[in-house]
Structure 1
């Protein structure tokens, strides 16, 4: 799925991932790539090729996130690249599933996935509709104060 939402040249930049996907006997996932999962109950879907985001810019604790995302109810998946963290801490890392063989069926594997809202088209944005509209109102109010105080 991630190859289909990324640029055709993505495979040139990720030869280990290509090898993993094309050879069902490979059990070693590329070390600089992680796959995360979540549930979404949203009636919206979202997909994005490799994107970058910086959280906390100017705070001294800024973090770079490079990731690709696919969200189509009931599941969402995020692939991080280059040893960068997931854009949201609550997402569940499922990269370890690579250790299982193609025909390896196991019972008793249980995972609790977080439920994440999908409202905007921005990758990695997990705000609810209410949070998004509140942020919009706050930004408009701030913009208005800037206009009223500018010479």
Structure 2
């Protein structure tokens, strides 16, 4: 993960950096000697340093899910796919996703959504508040994508002006979308029900989600580069999440 991550030994990240070298580059000054660090790049997270809570409580499950979906990414073609995972900890994974989404948003978002923050901070809290929904996409390749909070309106004739407020964080192998008071008719990829499990409770999970790429900079667009380059894109493309 880019915004919340495991302690270095479990981060699966071989790159090293120094805080001093980053600051020196940003300020255009000479780098001062400093100990190497290894892992993610953010200093501030939902509960302070990631290692103190979120990384320890939730991210081991994030890593387990990442390894578990590799066969789908390697062998399945883009589209809507059925995913089956055995003996996983659903609540832990959902809270890891939400922690990453929350850290990607301005601080004021947490102040305005205390129930969501409390759901993530307290590991034994179950049931995601009903005004929120989380959607999962398997991301095969492409760029990392961070949208911040955005709104979109469906202006088609039969939509009745349906409006959605959401935020997205996509980084292979996962893309997460959080919606606020904006339930979708299409439940593909919805994983909000993972919040109904207990902390560390293991279960066999089966759900449908989109497998796509982040070739487009547009939030929620998981078309492949080939699809984007077509002169007349198929409006019914099954892996465009709307």
- Using the size of structure 1 for normalisation, the TM-score is 0.76
The CA deviation at 1:49 is 1.5
The answer for the alignment partner of 2:102 in structure 1 is: 3
CA RMSD of aligned residues (A): 2.3
Structure 2 residue 188 is the aligned partner of structure 1 residue 91: yes
Q: Aligned pairs, how many? A: 133
The answer for the alignment partner of 1:59 in structure 2 is: 157
Deviations 1:18-59 (A, max 9, x none): 11011111112111000111111123111121111112x152
List alignment gaps of at least 5 residues for structure 1.
137-151
Runs of at least 4 residues off by over 6 Å: none
Structure 2 residue 139 is the aligned partner of structure 1 residue 40: yes
| Residues 1-151 of structure 1: pairs in structure 2 closer than 5 A | 1-55=100-154, 57=155, 59-61=157-159, 62-85=161-184, 89=186, 91-106=188-203, 108-134=204-230
RCO comparison, higher one (Cα < 8 Å, 6+) = 1
Distance 1:65 1:126 in 2: 18
Contact 1:36–1:94 under 8 Å retained in 2 = yes
| SS of structure 2 residue aligned to 1:111 | strand
- Using the size of structure 2 for normalisation, the TM-score is 0.50
| SS of structure 1 residue aligned to 2:226 | helix
| SS of structure 2 residue aligned to 1:16 | helix
List alignment gaps of at least 5 residues for structure 2.
1-99, 233-242
Distance 2:129 2:202 in 1: 22
